[in-house]
Chain A
Amino acid sequence: MAETKEIRQHKSVVTYGLRFFVIAYLFVLVVWPLSEVVKRTFAPVEPDAAGGFGAFLERLQDPSVTYAFGLTVTCAFWAVLINTVFGVGISLLLVRYDFPGKRVLSVLVDLPMSVSPVVVGLALVLAYSTGSGWFGSALESVGIFVIGSTPGLIMATAFVSLPLVIREIIPVLEEIGTDAEMAASSLGANAWQSFRRITLPSIKWAVAYGVVLSLARSLGEFGAVKIVSPGAEFRGETATLLIQNRYGNYDESTAYAAAFVLVLAAVLALVVVTFIRRPEERS
């Protein structure tokens, strides 16, 4: 062990060189640009206009901005709820049960994360748009319009964040094994009791972790939403679409203000996630 320490503590020029390189790289690529966003968020628009926190809040209270954030939160809420229920169910099935096509399903479940968001949007349009989608006219005849309305936005959001909950639960389920569940069922517990008393307590941190990740992803979804949404003010304009529209319309201060809120949400998610990891690792 003493020798190990010696090897690790022996710091050459290379060690310092690599350290400096990594810090410089991350600073130029991530930290510096990010700090510039913060600076611009609170900078006055015109040299003589008011800047700071007040102006920032004022930009966020614009009705079209509050509409955009409201829509984003609504979509994220439903998408996360759907993904959590579906994710817990499918993870249990994939880990605990044996059925034909299981391996294919477990690979397919991972697919949504790797599909380009634009392709996700296009796929939903080609399946469900009223004009040209496979099921568009059938849905129209029963009065359901998916594309261009909130259900389409929710589906797009749910699609892109689908595997996040599943990815967190599956390893934990594999780790804990089936002994306790078997014991419970041999003592006469039914499937629901065994799930609620045995399985759920052991996967709750994984579920929480997956939910936070999905929520962060859902709040920030852009590409898929861009395709399925009309994307106009008060008509399907989510927070991310608002950023693009405002930046394009030379209203950069509002774009930066909205972006700053999303950056805060993202950083908050990172912090929460590290706190969730802690108790999990402790146990």
Chain B
Amino acid sequence: MSTTVAPPVGPARTRRPSGGLFRLSTASGIGLGLSLVWFSILVLLPLSAVVGAAAAGGWTAFAGTLTDPQTFAALRLTVVEALLVTVVNAVIGTIVAWVLVRDDFVGKRLLDVVIDIPFALPTIVAGLVLLSLYGPESPVGFNIVNTREGIFLALLFVTLPFVVRTVQPVLMEIEVEAEEAAASLGASRFTTFRRVILPSLVPAITAGSSLGFARAISEFGSLVLISGNTPYQTEVASLKILKFLEGDNQAGAAAVAVLLLLVAVVVIVALDIISRRVARRG
């Protein structure tokens, strides 16, 4: 992957095989205009309204909301849980991808479908699914309602596919020549994995982990039934926003929302940079 000669440096469009881009004509210009109007109405203006509402009270009000002990506890819990889940996913997701690509056994295809289920399920249903086994009437004797372990489990469930699905295609592409060379030079399988395979997986693991982290930070639906929403204990950022809104404190809700928005933007930009860098390396 990284052994090929670097392609000539230049803007992305000059490298596209069939070249030319069209200039905007009148019709396509109108199309662009209409698209932008709709995109602004649906996405840009409402998101600006969030930033506006958060900034309306000035910096002190904004900082005051976020440093309020109860809000701060919710934010800290959200970040800590999201980081824990991200670390677990980075390891387990890579292992799952490895087994799906390199191992071969009856029922592997089925396992591949199971990975997609947490994505396909509505978030509220995801919460209900976990509660049916680990909830109040649990047949196995757990009750995760209103516990931090419950939040952890729910986040683990909804973020399962991210690392698996980003690592899997990269693992398929890796050529075995380098591994054979390493093995013939006496490297153990673990050394081969660590020195030959892992380095080429790192961008994919990073990308998948960041997506999972962003999702975990902002997760709401699957936590609604599980987190008891107890201040300082099991209250997370998204539920705090809901509580602010229900208490008619729109500025408070907007302040927390801006923070979540910021994380989303940072992750997207970081991913854009990673993918461009990987593409450039060829």
Hey, which bits of chain A sit against chain B, CB under 8 A? 3-4, 7-8, 12, 14-15, 18-19, 21-23, 25-26, 29-34, 36-37, 39-40, 82, 86, 89-90, 92-93, 96-99, 105, 107-112, 114-120, 122-128, 132-135, 155, 158-159, 162, 174, 177-179, 182, 191, 216, 219-223, 226-227, 240, 243-244, 247, 255-256, 259, 262-263, 266-267, 269-270, 274
Whether the pair A108, B43 counts as a contact (CB closer than 8 A) is yes
Most B Cβ at <10 Å: residue of A118, A124, A191, A259: A118
Whether the pair A262, B19 counts as a contact (CB closer than 8 A) is no
B185, CB-defined interface residue at 8 Å? no
Question: Chain B contact residues (Cβ within 8 angstroms of A): what range?
Answer: 35 or more
- Given A114-B267, A123-B46 in contact, is the A177-B120 Cβ separation under 8 Å? no
Neighbouring A residues of B269 by C-beta, 8 Å: 107
B209 CB, nearest partner CB in chain A, Å: 14
Whether the pair B24, A123 counts as a contact (CB closer than 8 A) is no
> In residues 127-148 of chain B, which contact A (Cβ within 8 Å)?
128-130, 132-134, 139
CA distance A227 to B243 in the complex (A): 11
Q: CB within 8 A of B103: which of A15, A97, A256?
A: A15
B197, CB-defined interface residue at 8 Å? no
In terms of DSSP, what is the predominant structure of the interface of chain B?
A: helix
B238, CB-defined interface residue at 8 Å? yes
CA distance A53 to B44 in the complex (A): 46
Most A Cβ at <10 Å: residue of B45, B98, B219, B237: B45
CA distance A21 to B114 in the complex (A): 15
Hey, which bits of chain B sit against chain A, CB under 8 A? 13, 16-25, 27-28, 31-32, 34-36, 38-39, 42-47, 49-50, 52-53, 92, 95-96, 98-100, 102-103, 105, 111, 113-118, 120-125, 128-130, 132-134, 139, 153, 156-157, 160, 176, 179-180, 183, 189, 211, 214-215, 217-221, 224-225, 237-238, 241-242, 245, 250, 253-254, 257, 260-261, 264-265, 267-269, 272
CA distance A2 to B11 in the complex (A): 42
